[in-house]
Structures are given as C-alpha cells and as structure tokens.
A and B are shown apart, each in its own frame.
Chain A
Amino acid sequence: MARTLKDLRPVYVVGVGWHRYQNPSETPYVTLGVTAIRDALADAHMDWPAVESAYVATALLGMASGRPMLRHLGATGVPLSHIENASASGSTAFRQACIEVASGLTDVSLAVGVDKRNPVRRDSTGMDNLAEDAIAQFTHFSLLTNEYAQRHKVSFEDIARVAVKNHRNGAKNKNAQRQQERTLEEVLGGKKVAGSLTALQCTPVGEGAAAAIVASEDGIKRLGLDTSRAIRVIGSTARSERVYAAGLGFDAVLTKETTTIALQEAQVSPQELDIIELHDAFTVEELHYIENIGICPEGQGVHLLKEGALDIGGRCAVNPSGGLIAMGHPIGPTGIGQIGEIALQLRGEAGARQHPKARTGLAHMVGVGAVCYVHLLQRP
C-alpha cells in the first residue's frame, strides 16, 4: 500500500533564504538565485558541498537555467532537476526535495525557485476556444469575486480588506515586493482592472528567488546543525483538477480536496493551524481558500477578517509574509518563499511579523492547469 510522507524518514527544513522579490530589473536571474541559496546556506549554517541534490523551480526562464546558476556555488556535480508547474513550481520543487530526503536517497536536498518576468508561452492544445485571449487571470478572479459577493451577500469593500491586511504584513517584510501599508480607501481607490478588482487587490508579478534546504535526522546530526531551529515537514499533498459540477470554482474545490487529504494524513485539524500561507493572487482567493481549508464555514471568511482573526496575533495568521498580494509572486520562487516564512514563524524568528506561539503551519498553492499543493510544517 502507498505510504504518506509522515510514514517515511522525518524531513526537516533547516535553511531558508531569499533574494528580495522586486519589480523587473536588469539583475540577472543567476544573481537572484545564488543570493537566495547563499542566504539559505547561511541560515542553516552549512556549506554548499553538503547539498546532495537540487531542484530548480522556474516557469519563465526557459530551458536548462539551473546549471548556469548553480555552477557559481562551486560545481559539485549534484543531480539537478528543473521543475515547471505554473504558480506551484516552487511548491513542487520543495515536495520533490522532501520526498528524496524522506525516501533515504539523500540526506540534504535543496529547492530553489527563481524567475524573471518573461512572457508566458503555452503551446496550442489543438483545440480552439471562444475568447480565452480576452480573459486575463484578473478577469477570471473578478468573475469569482462577483459570484462570491452575490452568493454570500458581502460587499466588495469587505473583500478588499484582504489586501489591507496583506499589505500591512508585507510592510514589515524586507523580502516583500510591496512594503507599504495601504488604507481601505487606497486599495479601493486604485485603478480598476476588471469589475471591482483594483490593482492593489492583485499580485504584482515581479522577479526574485527563494530557497529552502531540507535534511534528514542523519544529515542534521552529521552536519552538526541546530536541531532547535529545524522545522519538520509533516505533510505533503498534491492534486490536479478533476471534472466538477457546472458553476463550482475549481480552485476552491481542488483546494478542499487537497487540504482534506493533507490534514488527514498529518492528523492535524484546521483549528490547530497557527500560520497559513496561501495563494492570494487576488483578494477573493484568500476567502475561498481559508473556507475550503476549513478555518470557517463557507461565506464566513469576511467576518473573521473584520474581527482580526486572520491577523498576526489573531486566531490564525493568514499570509503573514504579505502573501502574493504584497510579498509578491515571481512564480518559481513563490511556493518556496511560503515555506521560508512558515519556518521563520515556527522558529520564532519572524521579527516584527512574529505570530505568538506558532507551532503548526500550512502552505497552499494553486497553479494554472489546475494543480494544488499543500505542505504542513510543525515545530517539533
């Protein structure tokens, strides 16, 4: 019978690092990537030769971008794989690194995400469509915003409060692309892109890098790493979209399916989650996902938001990093950056963003396709 991650060797996050997410610049991706990896190595207090395999997550850099980057760390000859899985590329690379360590094939593995804002290229499936070229991502989510507002009788102003919270969190994060607090008036007053959605309610796609190093207990012992800073990965679950009933939001249903399995396998209840980093590329997504993760019943997300239950220091800190809306969404790095934020929070090293007594965290990503990845992390 197939086993779960928890049944295999324990895996720990031992080092996390970033190159700040930022607006597109002339900085080569190699600089972004090696900066994040060196940051993660320093965080773990280990040297590059200790890393036994590397997974490079990138959606927009093109073929074989990893080796021209990794060679500048000293070409140790480690196995190298590239992972493309849309927005979930980083989460997928992290999962592969965890699986490799958990299986016993390596003791120390690296997942690094790096991207520049290059054009997205998707080949034809051979099937035509009515007007998909007219439906940008923000238009897709504007449709979902209108559906949510109508179904649950909530105002667009209240949905926009997700952005106010996440900009507030991002303002305290030196690695965030947007580091400025915004009032509700500022969020609502910006230029509209579709329906009620304004620019400050949408993720700013930029560039950057994030890295996470995972290790087994043997690896931690052999390298003499600080066990008190190691955060265990207690669950890793991935799913892709099935055929759902007409009108159901596939991202939300897929989130529910994936999270239910992840929580069940790790034997964690939604109420035990202290930290959630989720895919809030657009404000309404955060409400959809916290409800489908099981934090509250459907349609109740706005109430939690308004009473501060989703703030740092609230019942469950949702997107303490600033989320995709403020931290940013450079695609390849994003899912790995979530892991980094959760690791900092669970170690108690998140500084001004620290959520008190954080023990258990959940990272959630969806990617166009659609795919969904959920990871659960816990302080031992």
Chain B
Amino acid sequence: METLLKPSLYATDGTLQGGRCTCGHVFFPMQGHGCEVCGRHGADLQPMVLKGRGKLLSSTIVHLHIDKARTAPFTIGKIALADGPVVRTLLVDPTREIEPGTAMVTALVPAGAGENGQTILDLRFTPET
C-alpha cells in the first residue's frame, strides 16, 4: 500500500496541484489567498492540474544540511514547469548536478514508511529518458 507525503501538492500520476486565475496567471501550489499578479481571489482562482514536466534551470548538490531529517548529500533542482511556474525541490539522483536545459519529469519515490507500514511516496524530478 502506498500513500503520498503531500497529497495537497501532487497526485499519484505525477501531476502537480496548481491553480489558474481568470487573469491568466498560473501558479503553484493552489491557494485561495489571492492572485499574485492581479489580486483577484475567491472563485477567480481555480485549481489547475499542472503537467509533471519541465526544463531544468539549475541544480546543486547540498553537502551540508542542518536538519537531521534531511541527510546530505542531496540535490536540489530549479525547474520551469511546462505550464509556467518555477518550482524548486529534490532531484531523484542525490549525487550529481544536471545540465541546465535538460527536460525533466516528476517521479514518485519512497520517502519513509507510514504508521501502518505503508510506503510513503514523495515527488522528485529526474531527467526525462
């Protein structure tokens, strides 16, 4: 049995839970506080499923990290999603930086076990093969 670590942010098919304003601005994650571009809120902000693909802008290996829950080394990538927003998160491969411009896709990887022994999956990015 598998569950998602952050089901409010992504789905089991690797898509991301973003949003779109009637002004056209696409954002991630979905939120109802208000549009960062025009300030519209409420019904003007609608959920939008964002494709789990994009282009790598940069990546870096983290050698030291203060939070013991995150064991270094790991790799952080900055990805411009095909739908617009730029996100930063972990890459699947913790050991190498990736060439900017590389096409990236999401992948769900095991990130621990839940109370009932089920695998908890978290979203990462990895080069498209």
Q: Which residues of A contact B (CB under 8 A)?
A: 125-136, 139, 142-147, 150, 191-195, 243, 246-247
Contacts and interface: CB of A to CB of B under 8 A. Distances in A.
A195 B70 contact: no
Contacts, number: 92
A127 B63 contact: no
Interface of B: 6, 8-9, 25, 29, 31, 33, 36-37, 57-67, 69-70, 74, 76, 78, 80, 84-90, 97, 100, 122-123
Contact of A246 (B8, B62, B80, B89): B80
Contacts of B8: 128
A134 B6 contact: no
A130 B65 contact: no
Contacts of B25: 243
Give the 7 A-B residue pairs with the shortest CB-CB distance, closest first: A130-B89, A195-B60, A142-B60, A131-B89, A147-B58, A192-B63, A246-B80
Nearest to B54: A246
Nearest to B6: A128
Nearest to B27: A243
A134 B29 CA distance: 17
Majority DSSP secondary structure for residues of B touching A:
loop
A128 B31 CA distance: 9
Given A131-B89, A134-B76, A143-B76, A246 B65 contact: no
A97 B67 CA distance: 39
Contact of B33 (A126, A132, A142, A194): A126
Instruction: Identify the interface centre among A127, A133, A191: most chain B CB within 10 Å of its CB.
Output: A127
B37 to A, nearest CB: 5
A147 B36 contact: no
Given A130-B89, A194-B63, A143 B78 contact: yes
Contact of B61 (A126, A131, A191, A195): A195
A146 B80 contact: no
Contacts of A195: 60-61, 97
Nearest to A132: B88
A194 B59 contact: no
A191 B63 CA distance: 9
B76 A147 contact: no
B124 to A, nearest CB: 9
Contacts of A132: 88
Contact of B70 (A129, A130, A133): A133
A145 B90 CA distance: 18
A246 B58 CA distance: 12
Contacts of A192: 63-64
A146 B37 contact: no
Contacts of A145: 60
Nearest to B84: A246
Contacts of B58: 143-144, 146-147, 150
Contacts of A134: 62, 65, 67, 70, 74, 76, 89-90
Given A139-B62, A146-B60, A195-B61, A131 B97 contact: no
A239 B80 CA distance: 25
A145 B87 CA distance: 18
Nearest to A140: B88
27 contacts: A126-B33, A128-B9, A129-B29, A130-B9, A130-B90, A131-B76, A131-B89, A131-B90, A133-B67, A133-B70, A134-B74, A134-B76, A134-B89, A136-B66, A142-B60, A143-B58, A143-B76, A143-B88, A146-B58, A147-B57, A147-B100, A191-B63, A192-B64, A246-B80, A246-B84, A246-B85, A246-B86
Contacts of B88: 130-132, 135, 143
Given A125-B33, A194-B63, 18 more contacts: A130-B89, A131-B88, A131-B122, A134-B62, A134-B70, A135-B88, A139-B60, A142-B60, A143-B57, A146-B58, A146-B59, A146-B97, A147-B57, A147-B58, A147-B100, A193-B64, A195-B61, A243-B36
